[in-house]
């Protein structure tokens, strides 16, 4: 049978539960995923004075074809987007500035250094998000930035974050969609600190200075991102979840949850409903931790499905800003983007094809037997037939046929670098 015929048969099974599958696919088309540029070059960036990767971040593997120029990286992103259904976004770090061979310090970056990215995004109908880069720099060599006891170092990073917000504003004005500018820092200590309070006090003061200037949320949205642990900050991270949750709520900022930034048994899916009670918006960096924050390529596992279910069942598709964050240099990098992003979209589709209202009612009625039975039965409903039709309808490869496109691109482009 054809993809369309399989779809029609599958659709009837979902319609028995009152699910309008055609409407689901139209709704799914409207959900953008912010795909991180740094998978394509192993978080190297394009600074004239390139620094060694630091800040508790590590990329393992040496698969051939890494992007080494902005043009190569944009080409690789284009190939990945051609294999992913829908219109999406690109998430940039400050180290991806293009300065025409001139060394520009991070506190002196300007919108003009991202003009080529904006022109490219316009050409392809993409939104852009942004992150100041507070790692891989001599002023972050001791693992401290915005909480540093040295005021001069602290001020350098404060200015970097300020100019980053202006770059985000520039993206929003030029592209007609607000940029999410997200602040993450590596600050912390390897061993047990003798003072947890003072570094956090300095971080709070730094953030207050960064956010002094009001920027219209039509153009830029501010987010702050926590972490529980890092290489070199095993015992204490200044910007903990509690710190940033409190700061975001008190200062009307967006709290960003990275799925790899919590304890191994702590799930982001369980946090979403609580945070939606108190926040108009929240943001995600979806990654896959293996034991700890190892930023593996996102797979369609239980937690990814549960994250999508929490977003969908709580009618929060317009409240949760979904971005990805992983970097694997042991496999083809274009394939990594394609696998991870397609899986995020698959998870959202799976959630939309679940009879969420009926399941909620069963819980209210304390009918836990039927609730569990339906949870399990829907795992083997013909979700794949709906996904295949969505891909075909959106003009991207169906099933694993996208892999042939990647193999061809590898032979014709990546291996010639």
Output the CA–CA distances (angstroms, integers) from residue 336 to 298, 314, 346, in the order listed.
8, 29, 15
Respond yes or no: is residue 120 known to be catalytic.
no
From 66, 160, 166, 227, the catalytic residue: 227
Angle, helix 333-352 to helix 402-412, in steps of 10 degrees: 160
Respond yes or no: is residue 387 known to be catalytic.
no
Respond yes or no: is residue 227 known to be catalytic.
yes
Helix (H) or strand (E) holding 285: strand 282-286
Respond yes or no: is residue 258 known to be catalytic.
yes
Q: What is the bridge-based pairing of β-strands 179-183 and 220-225?
A: parallel
From 47, 76, 129, 325, the catalytic residue: 325
Contacts of residue 113, defined as CB under 8 A and 6 or more positions apart, other chains included, come to: 97, 98, 99, 104, 167
CB contact at 8 A, 40 and 77: yes
Respond yes or no: is residue 241 known to be catalytic.
no
Helix (H) or strand (E) holding 295: strand 292-296
CB contact at 8 A, 37 and 70: no
What whole-number distance in Å separates Cα of residue 342 and Cα of residue 227?
26
What whole-number distance in Å separates Cα of residue 291 and Cα of residue 107?
35
Respond yes or no: is residue 184 known to be catalytic.
yes
What whole-number distance in Å separates Cα of residue 248 and Cα of residue 389?
40
CB contact at 8 A, 143 and 189: yes
From 76, 174, 187, 225, the catalytic residue: 225
From 47, 295, 328, 405, the catalytic residue: 295
Query: Which two tokens mark 67?
Result: 């992007």
Respond yes or no: is residue 187 known to be catalytic.
no
From 76, 187, 293, 310, the catalytic residue: 293
Respond yes or no: is residue 285 known to be catalytic.
yes
From 261, 271, 281, 346, the catalytic residue: 261
Give the chain's length. 417
From 184, 337, 387, 402, the catalytic residue: 184
From 36, 204, 285, 346, the catalytic residue: 285
Respond yes or no: is residue 47 known to be catalytic.
no
Residues labelled catalytic: 184, 225, 227, 258, 261, 285, 293, 295, 325
């Amino acid at each position: 049978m054809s993809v369309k015929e399989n779809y029609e048969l599958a659709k009837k099974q979902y319609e028995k539960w009152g699910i309008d599958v055609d409407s689901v696919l139209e709704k799914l088309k409207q959900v953008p995923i912010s795909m991180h540029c740094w998978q394509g070059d192993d978080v190297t960036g394009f600074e004239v004075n390139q620094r060694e990767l630091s800040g508790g971040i590590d990329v393992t593997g040496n698969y051939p074809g890494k992007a080494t120029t902005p043009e190569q990286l944009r080409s690789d992103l284009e190939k990945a987007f051609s294999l992913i259904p829908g219109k999406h976004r690109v998430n940039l770090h400050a180290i991806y500035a293009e300065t025409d061979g001139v060394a520009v310090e991070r506190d002196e970056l300007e919108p003009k250094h991202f003009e080529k990215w904006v022109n490219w995004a316009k050409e392809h109908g993409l939104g852009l998000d942004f992150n100041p880069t507070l790692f891989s720099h001599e002023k972050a060599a001791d693992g401290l930035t915005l909480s540093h006891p040295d005021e001069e170092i602290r001020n350098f990073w404060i200015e970097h974050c300020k100019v980053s917000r202006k770059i985000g504003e520039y993206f929003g004005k030029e592209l007609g969609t607000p940029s999410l500018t997200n602040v993450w820092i590596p600050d912390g200590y390897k061993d047990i600190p003798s003072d947890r309070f003072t570094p956090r006090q300095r971080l709070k003061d730094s953030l207050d200075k960064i956010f002094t200037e009001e920027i219209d949320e039509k153009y830029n949205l501010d987010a702050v991102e926590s972490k529980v642990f890092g290489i070199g900050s095993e015992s204490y991270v200044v910007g903990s979840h509690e710190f940033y949750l409190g700061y975001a709520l008190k200062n009307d900022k967006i709290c960003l949850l990275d799925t790899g930034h919590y304890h191994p048994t702590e799930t982001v899916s369980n946090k979403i409903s609580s945070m939606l009670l108190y926040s108009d918006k929240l943001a995600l960096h979806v990654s896959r931790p293996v034991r700890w924050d190892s930023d593996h390529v996102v797979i369609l596992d239980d937690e990814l499905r549960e994250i999508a279910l929490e977003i969908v069942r709580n009618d929060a598709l317009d409240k949760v800003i979904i971005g990805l964050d992983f970097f694997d240099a042991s496999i083809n990098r274009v394939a990594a983007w394609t696998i991870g992003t397609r899986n995020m979209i698959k998870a959202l589709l799976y959630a939309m094809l679940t009879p969420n209202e009926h399941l909620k009612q069963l819980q209210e009625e304390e009918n836990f037997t039927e609730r569990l039975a339906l949870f399990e039965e829907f795992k083997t409903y013909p979700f794949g037939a709906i996904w295949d039709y969505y891909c075909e309808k959106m003009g991207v490869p169906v099933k694993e046929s996208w892999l042939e496109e990647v193999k061809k691109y590898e032979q014709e482009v990546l291996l010639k670098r």
